[in-house]
Chain A
Amino acid sequence: MANPFDVIVIGGGHNGLINAAYLARARKKVMVLERRHLVGGAAVTEEIFPGYKFSEFSYVVSLLRPEIIRELELAKHGLEILPLPSTFTPTLDHDYIAFWDDHDETRREIYRHSPHDADAYDDYGFQMYQMAKAIRPILSMIPPDPAALSFTELRRLLQLGQFARSLPEKTIYQLYKLMTMSAADFLDEWFDCVPLKGTKTASGIIGTFMGPRSPGTAYVLLHHYMGEIDGAFRAWGFAKGGTGGVSEAIASSARALGVEIRLSAPVSRVIVRNGRAVGVALENGDDLYADTIVSSLDPKRTFLKLVDEKELPDDFVDSIRRFKTRGSSGKVNLALSELPRFAAFESLVRHNDSAAPMRALRGAVSISPSIEYIERAFDDAKYGNFSQRPYMDMIIPSLIDPQMAPPGKHVMSIFVQYAPYNLNGGWNDARREAFGDAVINTLAEFAPNIKSAILHRQVLTPWDVEEITGLTEGNIFAGELALHQLFFLRPAPRWGSYRTPLRHFYQCGSGTHPGGGIMGAGGRLAALEILKDEK
């Protein structure tokens, strides 16, 4: 009996959908099974409070691969990215630093703090850009297996070697430094200005369980810098209709290619026969069969929950168990009766013009006054507490896309770090609220009117993130972007090429290379590998 589907993709997050779309493009009959009532995984827009729509989890877009946008014709399917042009960092002494869309304006802001840094900033931007460009091919490269002796693997190693040799020696050193240094040390080599370093370093620690002084955090600086490159949208952006807009566009493209997406269809288990994945069992008792099964869930959920351990080699199971997925961040979503008024606005107006505060609110607002501020926030977390004064990254989507909130009202999305998954004593309602209070109290130090402006508040701890999205331990990258978990070590040695120890079973989520962010590379590359295996 022929299976009604060639491929079943478990999970309708962006990677699962992209994977399905690419397979359907190659004329496969594909079914996507999504546990929730909507597609998107961690990239969803939900009306949490009547009239107020939130990018509930992931809230900015920048890394989505341009070839995916092109090949899946996402623009035709409604993808629209609205630019998020600036970053505004208020400081505790009611001053600020701002990075504007306009290069000269930014330069003037930095010059005000440090003439040296204003000069260094251009050089820094140039070098980071060059490095991001240099490393870009790796994002579309299948990681080689350095221990394998097969022809294919040796060829991949050779390709990697040739790629490395094609880079200028200086770039290799710089890249290596980025991979191995702490964001703090790396930025100390460039800059003096305290809030500048605080804000830059923040992008190095997002989603990690490390502080800015931990070696290895400089790499994430670059990971986030990649967003600056590609033609589709130069800088960070906000999807029209919230982040769910990205997922809807991909889903629409997938459907147009013939993919069937079944919602509210949680998978309980992968059916394995003789070392080969043959189908999936749904929680409702249905069994569905297909030639190929793909999981877009994180590696722990995929291999430790969906697959019977006995079907997998012991050392592989060990590797997956020790794959680090410590969630470190939370989210606070606010419905506001009025916009926050930062104490630093006075200084902002003085140094710019009366329109500057509104311009600043249209971009990102970063609570990262210094490296030490963030390091101390991490100190709380490493001993199992949430930060009393956390690092926060905020956007107010209703200023960019008025459909997100009722007229005159606003929604604000606050990414908060650190909130450890393994909180001392575990998370509960009281601790969730205490965490929310710490966030609001800290914010009130910078924007005193915030408390009276709040109409509704949603606080999401790593436990909530795990509960709702399924991401193990609430890790937003489906596995930490630590040096020992990248490239051919992601998610486990020997299995960096989207294949798994089970025949006809593949993985395509953010837990695979290159991982993290709404990038979609895993979904696409996995599809290409699946198609290759079929030949």
Chain B
Amino acid sequence: MKNNFDAIIIGAGLNGLTTAAYLAKAGHRVLVLEARQALGGTAVTEELAPGVLCDTLVGNLTGFDPRIARELGLSGVEFIGADPSVHALQPDGAGLTLWRDVGKTAEGLRPFSARDADKWGAFVERVARVSGFMEALYAATPPRPNEVKSESLWTLGSLGLKLRGLGKTDLYEALRMLPIAIADWMDEWFENETLKGVLAAGGVTALMQGPLATGTTLNFMHRQVYGGGVIRPTRYVRGGIGKLADALANVVRARGGEIRQGERVVRITLKDDMATGVVLQNGEELAARRIGSSADPHTTFLDLVGAYELDAEFVRAVRTIKYRGANVKLNFLLDGLPTFHNTDPSLLRGTIAVNPTVTALERAYDDAKYGSVSENPYLEFTIPTLADSSRAPEGKHVMSAWLQYAPYTLKTGDWRPETERVREKALGILSRYAPGIESRVLESQVLTPCDLQETYHLREGCLTQGAVMLDQFFFMRPVPGWAQYQTPIANLYLCGGGAHPGGGVAGAAGRNAAREMGKG
């Protein structure tokens, strides 16, 4: 087995590809191994039907550090910032809209609540300032809390200065915001139930927690980082989110890197506690100086390395990482645009939230807490073909919905009988707002948390490779003591969403990991 490669990257999701692209650009010989045929991981575009492109899982690229595009010289990627970013449907037909423009949103809020309309501008500004601080935090390698190395101190010091640079009020707000429950935080700002609900829904995105839980504001802010100051942004990639993965892959290839699709890594080979290469499912062995795994920590350490190679305490920490997927993804091909009450189709370009309220979200969570799919789940969907007509033949539309809460572990123990029930439930809810929508469905795809795990390698159906919670954040991610992308195995690095700052911020972990892997 020869040291053929400088680096092997396991997994061609956005993070894995980002790491690979940065390393390739720095002159390393890189090989990327992807188990599936398609690139992109959770950011994958596949055909829902012949000629119909669908972002199977994540279609809304809320956060993407613009530096990545610039530094790597990405080409062929066109972002579409949907406007409005969110439209909330209400049972009485009066929808509430969040536009990209602050003033326009405030004016739209006025009929609902003059007080909320007046506060909107200040709210947007506060979020923008705190997310600005978080952008610096997300681009840094977390320091060790009590290490006295100059590098750690420098990171801590510059983050501290940045934090203090927020000014007193924002600094305190930042410190309060991260732990506070989104429901409480909303009560501090607003009075309109739908406005509070649509923002609170952002606090529980992909999280098995209700809006009353501590730390849900952190999850809300997580989705604001690199969002360009737009509240709950909706951002598509023209032609499908897979184009972003393609662009990253092109950088890798252009710099001499190699990407092999349909090649599943089954083991990381070790010699003297050092990673030396990988073994593929077909038995082939490949060697490299460094291995970067963008698989989740559980898969990386317990499946690919093996618990016996690792310290028991570390293994215990890896085992107790909370994944807890909360969603079912539904994709529909429609033979025309459904009419939602009397909602103008132009309002449907972004994310559409179905009657969001804090109480409804919390009640939906209650069922899942005890191991059932929500009796009345929360639905959020997009119709990307409205903003990007290139994805489907004329007249046809793709509708992609997230249903929450759907626990990976059901009390009944079996997801199979639930799948069809969940589809009917989702269509039943939608038909209350768009009567007859069922008859427009030409194709449907239902992906349960089990499907997300089996097909897309998302452990427990978790979209962020570990829930974005306070105790799994920053220097605690993926496990305490190992937040610097290195692992207890020399030459093995984590470069996926399991590492800081987590999934849902495309490429951020990958960029940081490349920096650490490129050292020495």
Q: Which single member of B169, B214, B316, B470 contacts A482 (CB below 8 Å)?
A: B214
B123 to chain A, nearest CB (A): 14
Write out the residue numbers on chain B whose beta carbons fall within 8 Å of the beta carbon of A494.
Answer: 168, 172
CB of B175 within 8 A of CB of A146, answer yes
Looking at A210-218, A341-349, A398-406, A430-438, the stretch in contact with chain B turns out to be A210-218
- The reply to whether B171 and A146 contact each other, CB–CB distance below 8 Å, is yes
A185–B322 touching, CB < 8 Å:
yes
B469 CB-CB contact with A under 8 Å:
yes
The answer for the CA separation of A147 and B166 in the assembled complex, in Å, is 9
User: Bound state CA distance, A375 and B370, in angstroms?
Assistant: 10
For the complex, is B148 an interface residue (Cβ under 8 Å from A)?
A: yes
Q: Do residues A483 and B214 form an inter-chain contact, with CB atoms below 8 A?
A: yes
B369 within 8 A of A: yes
Closest to A168 in B: B146
Q: B residues within 8 A CB of A493?
A: 168, 172, 175-176
Q: Out of B148, B212, B359, name the residue touching A214 (CB < 8 Å).
A: B212
The listed residue with most B CB atoms (<10 A of its CB), out of A484, A489, A493, is A484
Structural contact, B176 and A177, CB atoms closer than 8 A? no
User: Does A167 sit within 8 A of B, measured CB to CB?
Assistant: yes
Report Cα–Cα, A493/B214, bound state, in Å: 19
How far, in angstroms, from A185 to B147 measured CA to CA in the complex?
28
Contact among B188, B209, B473 for A322, CB-based, below 8 A: B188
Tell me which residues across on chain A come within 8 A of B266, comparing CB atoms: none
The answer to whether A147 touches B168 (Cβ under 8 A) is yes
* Selected contact of B359 from candidates A179, A189, A383, A489, CB within 8 Å: A383
Whether A484 contacts B212 by the Cβ 8 Å rule is no
Q: Fill in one digit per residue for B67-98: 1 if any A CB lies within 8 Å of its CB, else 0.
A: 00000000000000000000000000000000
Interface residues on A, range: 35 or more
> Given A167-B146, A493-B176, are A177 and B476 neighbors across the interface (CB < 8 Å)?
yes
> Is B476 a contact partner of A176 (Cβ separation < 8 A)?
yes
List the B residue with the shortest CB-CB distance to A173: B480
- Distance from B260 Cβ to chain A, minimum over Cβ atoms (Å): 38
Alpha-carbon distance A469/B168, docked complex (angstroms)? 35
Closest to A148 in B: B168
Q: How far is the CA of A322 from the CA of B180 in the complex (A)?
A: 12
Q: How far, in Å, is A432 (CB) from chain B's closest CB?
A: 26
* Chain B residues whose CB sits within 8 angstroms of the CB of A215 once the complex forms: 209, 213-215, 469-471
B164 at the interface (CB under 8 A from A): yes
Is B193 located at the chain interface by the 8 A CB criterion? Answer: no
The residue in chain A whose Cβ has the minimal distance to the Cβ of B217 is A484
Contact (A147, B146) CB under 8 Å given A214-B212, A215-B215, A215-B469: no
B215 touches A165 (CB 8 A): no
Which residues A404-448 have CB closer than 8 A to chain B? none
Say whether A169 faces chain B, with CB atoms less than 8 Å apart: yes
Contact B369 A375 (CB under 8 A): yes
Check: B481 CB closer than 8 A to any chain A CB: yes
Alpha-carbon separation in the docked complex, A61 to B366 (Å): 35
Which residues between 215 and 248 of chain A lie within 8 Å of chain B, taking CB atoms? 215-216
Bound: A72/B355 CA distance, A: 59
Chain A min CB distance to B407 (Å): 13
Contacts of A173 in B (CB 8 A): 145, 476, 480-481
In the assembled complex, A134 has its CB within 8 A of some CB on chain B: no
A480 to B213, CA, bound (A): 14
Q: A165–B172 contact, CB under 8 A?
A: no
Cβ A213 vs Cβ B369 within 8 A: yes
Per-residue CB proximity of B237-274 to A under 8 Å, as 1/0?
00000000000000000000000000000000000000
- Measured between beta carbons, the chain A residues less than 8 angstroms from B167 are 147
Give A177 to B480 CA distance when docked, in angstroms: 9
Q: Does B179 contact A (CB under 8 A)?
A: yes
Decide if B320 is an interface residue (CB 8 Å cutoff).
Answer: yes
- Tell yes or no: B184 within 8 A of A by CB: yes
- Tell me how far the C-beta of B222 lies from the nearest C-beta in chain A, rounded to whole angstroms: 15
**CB-CB nearest in chain B for A174:** B480
Residues in B with CB closer than 8 Å to A147 are 164, 167-168, 171-172
**B362 beta carbon closer than 8 Å to chain A:** yes
CB of A180 within 8 A of CB of B469, answer yes
The answer on a CB contact under 8 Å between B144 and A169 is yes
The reply to whether B176 and A484 contact each other, CB–CB distance below 8 Å, is yes
Q: Is the CB of A216 within 8 A of B179?
A: yes
Q: How far is the CA of A172 from the CA of B209 in the complex (A)?
A: 25
Which A-chain residue is minimally distant from B476 (CB atoms)? A176
> Nearest-CB distance from A94 to chain B (Å)?
24
Distance in Å: Cβ of A183 to nearest Cβ of chain B: 12
A214-B213 CB under 8 A given contacts A315-B169, A484-B176: yes
Asked whether A484 lies within 8 Å of B180 as measured between CB atoms, the reply is yes
Complex CA gap A382/B146 in Å reads 39
In the complex, A379 has a CB within 8 A of chain B: yes
Instruction: Choose from B146, B168, B209, B322 the contact partner of A169 (Cβ within 8 Å).
Output: B146
How far apart are the CA atoms of A372 and B370 in the complex, in Å? Answer: 8
Interface set, chain B 160-205, CB cutoff 8 A to A: 163-164, 167-169, 171-172, 175-177, 179-180, 184, 188
B320 touches A324 (CB 8 A): no
Q: How far is the CA of A170 from the CA of B184 in the complex (A)?
A: 32
In the complex formed, the residue of A with least CB distance to B324 is: A185
- Rounded to whole angstroms, the CA-CA distance of A494 and B176 in the bound complex is 12
Instruction: List the A side residues contacting B145 at CB < 8 Å.
Output: 164, 169, 172-173, 176
CA distance A379 to B176 in the complex (A): 25
> Footprint of A on B, CB under 8 Å?
144-148, 163-164, 167-169, 171-172, 175-177, 179-180, 184, 188, 209, 212-215, 316, 320, 322, 359, 362-363, 366, 369-370, 469-471, 473, 476, 480-481
* 18 A/B residue pairs, CB under 8 Å, sorted by A: A147-B164, A147-B171, A147-B172, A167-B146, A169-B144, A169-B481, A176-B480, A180-B179, A180-B473, A185-B471, A189-B320, A215-B209, A215-B470, A216-B179, A382-B362, A482-B179, A484-B179, A493-B168
| Interface pairs A-B: 6 shortest CB-CB | A173-B480, A493-B172, A216-B214, A483-B179, A180-B470, A180-B471
A173-B145, A185-B322 given; 20 more Cβ-contact pairs under 8 Å: A146-B171, A147-B164, A169-B146, A169-B147, A170-B481, A176-B145, A179-B470, A180-B469, A189-B316, A210-B212, A215-B213, A215-B214, A216-B215, A372-B370, A382-B362, A383-B359, A483-B179, A483-B180, A484-B177, A494-B168
- Chain A residues with a Cβ under 8 A of chain B: 146-147, 164-165, 167, 169-170, 172-173, 176-177, 179-181, 185, 189, 210, 213-216, 315, 322, 324, 372, 375, 379, 382-383, 482-484, 489, 493-494
